[in-house]
Amino acid sequence: MIYMKTIVFILVIAALVQIIEMFLKKVSPALYKAMGIYLPLITTNCAVLGMATIVASPDYTLLSSFVMSFASSVGFLFVIYIFASMREKINASNVPVAFKGVPIGLITAGLMSMIFAKFVGVI
């Protein structure tokens, strides 16, 4: 359960970044526009920091740290690719108004997490 601490940490920061982004979009569109891509990059930086924290533990050798970091990067790339593909298909489909935007994104992320949770312990 220790590994969940980092995942929860990243999810809390990602949620806060989304809330701040929506708040800035409504309150100060000029500041929101000035922040541009840098605001969502906070979440990615947290994922990198979380991975660095995990492999910095004394349980990992240099080789196992490298393999773990590489495998996590490839896994992250795979998940982002699948999520982006799903979002494109969802945006092209007829989604009810109540589910457009963030709600359908959260539902998609939840379904993806349930699918990938079944792979825990396979390797």
What is the residue extent of each domain of the chain? 1-58, 60-123
Render pLDDT for 45-104 as a digit per residue (tens, 0 to 9). 777 777 777 777 778 888 888 888 888 888 888 888 888 888 889 888 898 999 988 888
Q: Is 26 left (phi over 0), alpha (psi -120 to 50) or beta?
A: alpha
- Quickly list H helices, the chain: 2-27, 29-35, 38-55, 62-92, 102-117
Residue linked to tokens 């220790």: 2
At a CB cut-off of 8 Å and minimum separation 6, what does 42 contact?
A: 13, 17
